A and B are shown apart, each in its own frame.
Chain A
Amino acid sequence: MEPAISADAKWVRWRANLPWSLAVLAWFAVVGAPMLVLFGLLAQQPEALWHAAWPDARRLQLLTNSIIMAMAVATACVALSLPAAAWLLRRKEARLATLIWLPLVMVAVPPYVHALAWMQFWQGMDGMLAFLGLSLRPAPLWLKAVWVETAAYLPITLAFSMVGLANNNPLLSDAARLYVDEWTVFWRIRLVLALPTILVGGGFVFLLSVADFSVPSLFQVQVYAVEILVEHSSGVGEAMTFAVALPLVAIGLAVIPLLSRGVAHISLVPERFGRFAVTDHAIGGSFARLQYIAAMSVFMLIVVPIAVLIVSVGAPATFVDAVVQGGDAVLYSVAVALGAAVAVTMLAMTLVRRTLDRRWMLAILLPFAVPASLIGIGLLVVWNHGATEFVFGSILMPVLASSARFAPIAAATFLVYSRSISTDLLEVAELLQGRGRATWWQVYRPLFGPGIVTAFLVVFALSLGELPATLMVAQPGQQTLALRVYNLLHYGASDQVAALCLLLTSLSMAPLGLALLASRPRDRKSFAPWHGRPC
């Protein structure tokens, strides 16, 4: 028989669980409700479900195109990232130790900005070839779209590859080095151990690519995500739009459980591996060349878009003009991004401490299964009522759109960071000081601070470029910088658009870059293997 719990004890337990319970409710309101309401609408209109269950031949073709394109992008990203990450992690030079982070900062640059830059680059190349009296057969548009999406999503797989390889226990590689050559050590030990993490990165890229409409629509590539947008624009209603999107949702629901299993095992700080870092034995021959080529390709995919944008802007006055003209949109975007980053980071901080098991990880990542534009549609259904009019017409809608999209990223980032902190450290502090202010300030803040700041900055940067969900919820007169850029893009590339893209890129990259620079001394201790030398 279980001992009876006193009323006082129940009160203490209830009070301790209150913040977490509120966070679960808030998570449900922001992230879960838009999805559930769409399923609810579908249940009320079975004919819409029937319509989706039997897609015609054209839609099947679109779905096939989407899957093939997403697989091509994910494969290209992983294939480039793996050797590039291996090369970057072997860098020991102090200056390069900072540079290896640069590709990761590009994660904040939206795909349509990459698209504009590469379109201008190819245009310039064609012009140059024509000037020289040469001409090349133009590449197919789908290939260009794959190229651009690869460039846009590469930082994601690069980050996962670097984390996967850096988290290898160096002793396991050293043990293998005693018996086999460096090539075999890489393929049979390091790669096998890092593969789950690397594949998680590939899985995320697949999901992002399969649901992206911005790049395919700019290159006139027929994919399923564009069809969803077309369907919604034709005014068939939310239920029918969601029904059309169900195949993409089903793909997401199939992939997310695999990703959540992978994410649950990623840890950022390999403290338990002792003092030995990755040894720097040379890998000779073709693999070393492959690593070098991959690393240079990664840098090219980063440097070219930025260089093209700078060249396209031309005179600094053009940039200043664009900033002045888009001033309202800039301020509005920054306010939206700040609001989303604060809300989502606080939510993640409160929620994640209790959500370490696999089921919670699955629940956190589930929103990734739903294409972003549908999240926007779901938010419209949830908040477009008389009682919530103060939300519907306000800045809160874009904030909710970004929050709903990026809350899983903030939670996953914070979770992965939290997993690297030994519970012993927290328990010792609580034994000595309880859960008071001193424990929070002297122990929790320094330990969890970098994770909180990282989650905040990632959401802030991503929210600045958020387009698909914002496109759905933004009311006339509400224009974010991303919306302004995307609308102008359809009128063709111009120096004004390039200037706005450059501004968006700078705004997105600056906080992440600053954070990386600011966190370097701490990184040197905790991420020592990333720098390829003994710590």
Chain B
Amino acid sequence: MLEVHGISKSFGVLQVLHDVSLRLDRGQVTTLVGTSGVGKTTLLRIIAGLERADAGEVVIDGETATRGGTILSPPHRRTLGFVFQAPALWPHMTVAKNILFAVTHLNAAARSHRLAGLLRATGLEPLATRYPSEISAGQARRVALARTLAAAPCYLLMDEPFSNLDPQAKQDLIRLALDHVRDGSMGLLYVTHDPSERELIGGNILLLRDGVLTAG
């Protein structure tokens, strides 16, 4: 279980998160909604260990990963996946290498097996040898999702990942993520301010407003 206890965070005099707590189990979906600039992304980055909190704890499967301003477990040891608002693909690596970067710990056979499966599932097979500069924005989003799923995370954090996609592509990619949740292997925390996405994702809804998290 992913547990967040009493997280607070300020940037200068601006307090963006105030005593935020939430829980997410594997197989569970939670949608986090809130207006722009309210601190949704900051909360996800603190959970992932990419940002320090001022106070509070992040506990992942019983292990404290963040306590106050101290990151006890670095991001790559947290069994978390994170799909950012931008695809964040490494421009010097091909699509295949971007995906394989997430599974460097596996042997060659396991890596190529996982790569093949994800390329098929995301429809990226013909693009495997292309560089990020040679694919469209929508295809880049698919690569970003495939890369995240390649690492088989226990909890997936998605930060408005499909905001500029057409409805059909958005639906396909959300379904792909939800498939991994439904088999019970992964919990999903999805950030959005788009009502149509919220309907597609379903699950619990949490509202972040003025730094305080409430049930939506």
A-B interaction: yes
Contact with B along A175-213 (1 / 0, CB 8 A): 111111110000011001100000000000000000000
Binds A, one of B21-29, B58-66, B80-88, B111-119: B80-88
The CA of A311 and the CA of B78, in the complex, are separated in Å by: 55
| A177-B75 contact in complex given A279-B50, A534-B11, C-beta closer than 8 Å | yes
Q: Is residue A402 within 8 Å, beta carbon to beta carbon, of the partner chain?
A: no
A193 touches B88 (CB 8 A): no
Q: Is residue A174 within 8 Å, beta carbon to beta carbon, of the partner chain?
A: yes
Instruction: List chain B residues, Cβ under 8 A from A279.
Output: 50-51
A172 touches B90 (CB 8 A): yes
Q: Is residue B196 within 8 Å, beta carbon to beta carbon, of the partner chain?
A: no
Instruction: List chain A residues, Cβ under 8 A from B131.
Output: none
A176 touches B50 (CB 8 A): no
B86 touches A178 (CB 8 A): no
The smallest C-beta distance from A535 to any residue of chain B, in angstroms, reads 9
Instruction: List chain A residues, Cβ under 8 A from B45.
Output: 174, 276
The smallest C-beta distance from B185 to any residue of chain A, in angstroms, reads 17
Most buried by A among B45, B88, B89, B103: B88
Instruction: List chain A residues, Cβ under 8 A from B80.
Output: 178
Chain B residue at minimum C-beta to C-beta distance from A174: B50
Partner of A175, one of B49, B71, B88, B104: B88
Q: Is residue A10 within 8 Å, beta carbon to beta carbon, of the partner chain?
A: no
B92 touches A192 (CB 8 A): yes
A189 touches B88 (CB 8 A): no
Q: Is residue B74 within 8 Å, beta carbon to beta carbon, of the partner chain?
A: yes
Q: Is residue A161 within 8 Å, beta carbon to beta carbon, of the partner chain?
A: no
| A281-B74 contact in complex given A179-B104, A179-B151, A534-B11, C-beta closer than 8 Å | yes
Instruction: List chain B residues, Cβ under 8 A from A281.
Output: 71, 74-75
Q: Which of B91-109 contact A (CB under 8 A)?
A: 91-92, 101-104
Instruction: List chain A residues, Cβ under 8 A from B104.
Output: 179-180
Partner of B91, one of A181, A193, A274: A193
B76 touches A179 (CB 8 A): yes
Q: Is residue B191 within 8 Å, beta carbon to beta carbon, of the partner chain?
A: no
The smallest C-beta distance from B168 to any residue of chain A, in angstroms, reads 26
B75 touches A171 (CB 8 A): no
B74 touches A176 (CB 8 A): no
Q: Which of A140-190 contact B (CB under 8 A)?
A: 169, 171-172, 174-182, 188-189
Q: Is residue B32 within 8 Å, beta carbon to beta carbon, of the partner chain?
A: no
Instruction: List chain B residues, Cβ under 8 A from A274.
Output: 86
Chain A residue at minimum C-beta to C-beta distance from B86: A171
Most buried by B among A174, A182, A192, A193: A174
Chain B residue at minimum C-beta to C-beta distance from A192: B92
Chain A residue at minimum C-beta to C-beta distance from B78: A178
B92 touches A178 (CB 8 A): no
Instruction: List chain A residues, Cβ under 8 A from B90.
Output: 172, 175-176, 189, 193
Chain B residue at minimum C-beta to C-beta distance from A281: B74
Instruction: List chain B residues, Cβ under 8 A from A176.
Output: 90, 101
Most buried by B among A176, A178, A281: A178
B91 touches A178 (CB 8 A): no
Q: Is residue B48 within 8 Å, beta carbon to beta carbon, of the partner chain?
A: yes
A178 touches B11 (CB 8 A): no
Chain B residue at minimum C-beta to C-beta distance from A534: B11
A178 touches B71 (CB 8 A): no
B81 touches A178 (CB 8 A): yes
A178 touches B82 (CB 8 A): yes
The CA of A175 and the CA of B89, in the complex, are separated in Å by: 8
The CA of A181 and the CA of B81, in the complex, are separated in Å by: 15
A174 touches B88 (CB 8 A): yes
A171 touches B74 (CB 8 A): no
A193 touches B151 (CB 8 A): no
A179 touches B102 (CB 8 A): yes
Partner of A172, one of B48, B82, B88: B88
B51 touches A178 (CB 8 A): no
B residues apposed to A, CB below 8 Å: 11, 45, 48-51, 71, 74-76, 78, 80-82, 84, 86, 88-92, 101-104, 147-148, 151
If A175-B90, A178-B48 are given as contacts, then 12 extra A-B residue pairs at C-beta distance below 8 Å, sorted by A number, are: A172-B88, A174-B50, A174-B82, A174-B84, A175-B89, A177-B49, A177-B50, A177-B75, A179-B101, A179-B104, A182-B74, A281-B71
What would be 29 A-B contacts, judged by CB atoms less than 8 Å apart? Answer: A171-B86, A171-B88, A172-B90, A174-B45, A174-B75, A174-B82, A175-B82, A175-B89, A175-B147, A176-B101, A177-B50, A177-B76, A178-B48, A178-B76, A178-B82, A178-B102, A178-B148, A178-B151, A179-B103, A179-B104, A180-B104, A181-B74, A181-B76, A193-B90, A193-B92, A276-B45, A279-B50, A281-B74, A534-B11
